[in-house]
């Protein structure tokens, strides 16, 4: 009975649009998982586009995922999530305006890539993917710790 009541309270809170405040550590874990997924979709899309694998029928899935993940990257970096096990540099929060600009650019590039793939436009698909990749690299250069 107690479990049913708890589920009802959670469902009621969700229906009312009330969110449970997440702990910064949980936000960092979520952000890390989301960015790893983003990188995995980029790697998979690259393998398809470059002809290393023949899963062309799955490219649209990766492109849609990239558009969805990149839609609001800024939300993954809220205030007070700038510590612990994160690859984010302090510049994310200290130079927030530039970070937001780069995140918006990545979102636009991801959306353009997804649209090119959906249109089955092979010529533009490669070009849009390159633009998205360049946008990601530019953001990582200034806002992410270097990989070792």
Task: Outline where the chain has alpha helix (H).
Answer: 2-15, 24-49, 59-70, 91-94, 96-118, 122-143
Count of CB atoms within 10 A of residue 71's CB?
14
Report pLDDT for 147. Answer: 77
Domains and CATH numbers, the chain: 23-143 (1.20.120.10)
Q: Residue 64 and residue 74: Cα distance in Å, rounded?
A: 19
Report pLDDT for 145. Answer: 93
Closest CA to 112 of 87, 134, 140, 132: 132
Give me the tens of pLDDT residue by residue for the chain, a chain 148 residues long.
Answer: 444 444 333 443 444 444 557 899 999 999 999 999 999 999 999 999 999 999 999 999 999 999 999 999 999 999 999 998 899 999 999 999 999 999 999 999 999 999 999 999 988 999 999 999 999 999 999 999 987 7
* 50 DSSP 8-state letter: T
Dihedral sign of CA atoms 58, 69, 67, 92 in order: negative
Report pLDDT for 20. Answer: 59
User: Which positions ≥6 away from 52 have C-beta within 8 Å?
Assistant: none
């Amino acid at each position: 009975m107690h479990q049913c009541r708890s589920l009802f309270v959670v469902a009621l809170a969700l229906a009312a649009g009330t969110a449970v405040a997440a702990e910064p550590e949980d936000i960092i874990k979520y952000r890390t998982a989301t960015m790893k997924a983003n990188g995995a979709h980029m790697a998979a899309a690259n393998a398809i586009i470059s002809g290393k694998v023949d899963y062309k029928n799955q490219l649209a899935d990766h492109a849609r995922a990239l558009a969805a993940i990149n839609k609001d990257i800024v939300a993954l970096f809220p205030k007070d999530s700038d510590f612990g096990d994160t690859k984010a540099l302090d510049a994310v929060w200290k130079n927030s305006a530039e970070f937001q600009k780069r995140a918006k650019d990545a979102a636009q590039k991801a959306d353009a890539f997804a649209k090119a793939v959906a249109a089955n436009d092979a010529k533009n698909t490669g070009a849009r993917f390159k633009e998205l990749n360049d946008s990601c690299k530019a953001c990582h250069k200034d806002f992410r710790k270097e990989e070792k």
